[in-house]
Amino acid sequence: MRGLLAILLLTLAGCLPLEYQQPQRTEPESETSRPLRVGTLYGPTTYVVGAAGAQGLDYELALGFALHLGRELEVTPYASLPELFDDMSQGKLDLIASSLTDTHLNRSFWRFGPPIYRTRVQLVYRRGHPKPDSLAQLTEPLMVMAGSNHAEMLATERRTLPVLSWEETTNYAAHELLSMVASGELAYTLSDDKTLAASRRLHPELAVAFSLGTEQEVGWALPEVGSHRLLSELLDYWNTLKQAGTLKQLEEKYFGHVKRFDYVDTRAFIRAVETKLPKYESWFREHAGELDWRQLAAVAYQESHWNPKARSPTGVRGLMMLTQSTARRVGVTDRLNPEQSIRGGSDYLHDLLKRLPASIPQPERLWFALAAYNIGLGHVEDARVIAQRQGLNPSSWADVKSMLPRLTQKRYYQSTRYGFAQGGVAAHYVDNIKRYYDTLVLLETHLPPTTGAPLDLAKSRE
């Protein structure tokens, strides 16, 4: 299981091992000379290996931490929590970087680092089915992972609602429970909001009934024994990240574009991947250049919904919706020719990437270039100027994105070089492309089979 590639084994935040013992070890003198051993769970925000290599919020943070320590990074991805926690308890890992929920019960087993972000637990049901307004209204089975913070939360809720019942399972992982709800096999499950947002890119039928409790912090877990020095280094690393604005940038990269969800659009996109994309995929691959071909395909879908004859009221045409002047600049003679349009759109996007200031880092350069593809490089530069005037970082996409809507406000655009622009539209444009790209990545991967125990290990809490 450990080596199987899986993107949608979603972040199982807050889960606990069923049984384990704390490792009895001390840090060896040679620790700084060996790799930093990190355990994680497969998931779109934690760790995944795709065409562009390894990525994920926890992975990027762990890679940075290893560099901070001057050590190599050794990542072991797991497909099941029991295996992950067992290796941690045996001293085979230095830390768990998988955004675990920092609960009182979790702290009785692990030592937690600083919080990465906050999340909320939500009750999930299938769109079109009766929507419950509270736990008291549940009339069909509710299933959660055994040993998870979700089970802990339900046990707390039952103190005031004795009739509450649910099933705890060791047979299904979080992504499987969500898939079962989406298909109608299961009525309800619980999920954290960020995991659910990622899952809805593949299962738009998933819907939120209500939230439970308050927001919870998630972070990394270290062994209770022998991790004092590593925790001190982690706190120092975190302070460095916060001062540099790196945490804010990573949060925007992984979560900034999943807050908005459009059921109809998501279903239409998945259908288009099946029916339209195969006609053009080879050209996206051929002309992607320095981009992941799926990024180029995502731009084309945002522009034309992969319609080679698309036309806007302003006169832009084709799969990549090129203007006449842009088409001439990149050597496109027929904007309705899909291959020419893809090649021309890619050339134009690469040109924008080259013209951006050198101070803008990767991968944020692409987000700036996409905004420029939509409203022009001059207007993007105006938004950078506004950000700088507000004391923000003009080379941070999160900061500039928050300023783009101000290009429609006279008190801001009247002092810019290029004036009024639909900056808010450009911000949504980039978010949409990022969501389409995420979905393409998810659709290209396969889930691992569950390691689940026999069915009789599932416990019913009634």
Catalytic residues: 303
Torsion sign, CA atoms 16, 20, 24, 25: negative
Q: Answer whether 396's CB lies under 8 Å from 245's CB.
A: yes
Alpha carbons 274 and 277: distance in angstroms, whole number: 7
Q: Answer whether 132's CB lies under 8 Å from 209's CB.
A: yes
Encode 236-246: b = buried (16+ Cβ within 10 Å), e = exposed.
ebbeebeeeeb
Q: Answer whether 191's CB lies under 8 Å from 203's CB.
A: no
Q: What is the CA radius of gyration of the chain?
A: 24
Structure token digits, residue 96? 């768990």
Cβ burial, residue 154 (10 Å; 0-12/13-18/19+): buried
Q: Answer whether 417's CB lies under 8 Å from 382's CB.
A: yes
Alpha carbons 410 and 401: distance in angstroms, whole number: 18
Q: Answer whether 153's CB lies under 8 Å from 161's CB.
A: no
> Tokens 């209500």, residue?
210
Encode 64-92: b = buried (16+ Cβ within 10 Å), e = exposed.
bbbebbebebebbbbbbbbbbbbbbbebe
Q: Which residues pair with 439 in a beta bridge?
A: none
> Quick one: angle between helices 293-304 and 338-355, nearest 10?
110
Torsion sign, CA atoms 255, 256, 260, 266: negative
The closest of 79, 78, 13 to 448, measured between CA atoms, is: 79
DSSP single-letter state for residue 226: S
CA 229 distance to own-chain centroid: 30
Q: Answer whether 406's CB lies under 8 Å from 413's CB.
A: yes
